Structure 1
Amino acid sequence: MIRVLIADDEPLIRAGIRMILTSADDIEVVAEAADGREAVDLARRHMVDVALLDIQMPVLDGLSALAELGRTAPGVRALILTTFGERDNVLRALRHGGAGFLLKDSAPGELIAAVRAAAAGDAYLSPAATRHVADSLAAGPAVSRSEEARRRVAVLSEREREVLALLGEGLSNADAGRRIHMSEATVKTYVSRILAKLGCENRVRAALLARDAGLGA
């Protein structure tokens, strides 16, 4: 069972997220918080697997809560729930180990998929959130980014590029394995090899690189 904490200062938002998540038979909402400080305390107390953190919260904002969880409860996987995609927010979340980005208007199935991916140790990038992330991290003209991405991806084998393309879609290791008829463990091995070859520190960066290179497009 995946143990989840929901942190948002709006009760209606928390209630809606709880209703969606509890419809899945493998997810249990064990705590709710109305501010970032409470979120950090409850995440540690309840030993949650995944924390859904809104960026805009009182006392301690979601990004500061993410950073503190990284220092004091590194086993907690944090998903950033937001309507924002500014550069500084995105870079801070990546730097402190955020497991993904999810926009508040995401479909219910997307929210469940994101929690499952985060719990499995994967990064989740919703299509809409990815556009915000890509724009925030963009350095230089799109054509230059595309050329640079294709150059970097050229070092990968055909199979590695296939796996990378699935990362670009935001698939978990398990889902990627089902797509290409490969075990989850084997996909995990491929992902580690891909990150090393590309010099990417996490799956989020690799996923963005895949999109810039046009893989899976």
Structure 2
Amino acid sequence: MPIRLVLADDHPAVRAGLRAHLERESDLEVVAEASDGKEALAMARTHKPDVIVLDMEMPELTGLDVAEMLTQDEPDIAVLVLSAFEDESYIFGVLDVGAAGYLSKQEPLGSIAEAIRGAAAGDVGWLSRRIGALYINRHREGRARASRQAEAADPFSTLSARESEVLLLVAEGDDNTTLADKLFISESTAKKHVHALYEKTGLKTRAQLVAWSWRAGLVTP
């Protein structure tokens, strides 16, 4: 059984060219076309295609509007965006609502057909190279931001195992000589670890380190 498609684009020439190419593939069948967002939504709901190939900027409703409604109301219809626009709000918007992919109109026609087959099979992440790079960088930035927030919430997460040991001994009142003896390190090494604690915690004195450790619950009475 062929993969059933709806093509949605407000440019007739684009639809005609894409349709002509796709229908040369024996496993792909275009069952309807749409020239605006409302028509795209109606055609998808009427024909229940396997995949809707969707432009982003169309009259009536944007591709993002259509994608969001279809992924909520018609989860069995895979949404594959084919657009000339590389606006990050479009890209991240449709991917975040559950679209199977976002391809540039500059993508080779063979790659578009491959993405359609993948989307119909339930695969996600069909992205043009540049769009994929934007998406990856965005999520890397998000992970880095989350990591920074976690470190701010948990100040001990930035400390090495040795620095945590030194902090515990400082909090218990040991001077550099005593903690060096307990950890079997030189006094100069102990001083370096204490200095590293100042830098990582943003504190300036030993007394502040002790108070901070007690407030944070590192040591208790």
State the shift of 1:71 in Å: 2.1
- Output the CA distance in 2 between the equivalents of 1:68 and 1:40: 8
Which ranges of 4 or more aligned residues in structure 1 deviate by more than 6 Å?
none
Q: Which residue of 1 aligns with 2:132?
A: 130
Greater CA drift, 84-93 or 66-75: 84-93
* Alignment partner, residue 2 of structure 1: 3
2:133 partner letter: R
Equivalent residues of 2:51, 2:116 under 8 A apart: yes
The answer on 1:47 being equivalent to 2:56 is no
Q: Is the CA contact (8 Å cut-off) linking 1:7 and 1:35 kept in structure 2?
A: yes
**Partner SS for 1:31:** strand
Please give the alpha-carbon distance, in whole angstroms, between the structure 1 residues aligned to 2:90 and 2:140.
Answer: 14
Structure 2: runs of 5+ lacking an equivalent: 146-221
- Residue 29 of structure 1 deviates from its aligned partner by 0.3
Matched residue SS, 1:55: coil
CA distance in 2, matches of 1:24, 1:128: 27
What letter matches 1:110 in structure 2? S
The CA deviation at 1:127 is 2.2
| Structure with more contact order per residue of length (Cα contacts < 8 Å, sep ≥ 6) | 1
Q: Secondary structure at the match of 1:4?
A: strand
CA distance in 1, matches of 2:20, 2:131: 22
| TM-score (ref. length: structure 2) | 0.61
* Structure 2: distance between partners of 1:52 and 1:21: 11
Q: Which digits, 9 at most, give the CA deviation of each residue in 1:20-61, with x for residues without a partner?
A: 111110000001000111111101111100001100101000
- Residue 106 (structure 1) aligns with: 107
Distance 1:139 1:111, change over 3 A: same
* Aligned match of 1:81: 82
Q: Which amino acid aligns with 1:87?
A: E
Structure 1 residue 135, shift from structure 2 partner: 4.3
Q: Deviations over 1:123-171 (max 9, x none)?
A: 222323313433454517xxx79xxxxxxxxxxxxxxxxxxxxxxxxxx
Moved more, 31-40 or 78-87: 78-87
Q: Let me know the Cα RMSD of the aligned residues.
A: 2.3
Query: Which string of whole-angstrom CA distances, capped at 9 and with x for unpartnered residues, describes residues 96-125 of structure 1?
Result: 100001100110100100100000000222
Identity of aligned residues (%): 40
- Give distance in 2, aligned partners of 1:7 and 1:115: 14
| Alignment-derived partner of residue 179 in structure 1 | none
- Residue by residue over 1:71-102, the C-alpha shift from the partner in whole angstroms, topping out at 9 and shown as x without a partner, is 22111000111122222222211221000011
Does the CA-based 8 Å contact 1:55-1:80 persist in structure 2? yes
CA distance 1:26–1:86, change in 2 (3 Å): same
Give the counterpart letter for 1:139 in structure 2: E
- Structure 1 Cα separation of the partners of residues 19 and 80 of structure 2: 15
Aligned length: 145
Single out whichever of 122-131 and 61-70 deviates more from structure 2: 122-131
- 1:154-193 equivalences under 5 Å are none
Q: Output the TM-score relative to the length of structure 1.
A: 0.62
- Pick the structure with greater CA Rg: 2
CA distance in 2: counterparts of 1:15 and 1:109, whole angstroms: 16
Cα 1:77–1:98, aligned 2, differ >3 Å: closer, same or farther?
A: same
SS of aligned partner of 1:92: helix
Indicate conservation of the 8 Å contact 1:4/1:31, yes or no: yes
Unaligned runs of 5+ in 1: 146-217
SS in structure 2 of the partner of residue 139 of structure 1: helix
User: In 2, are the aligned partners of 1:90 and 1:136 still within 8 Å (CA)?
Assistant: no
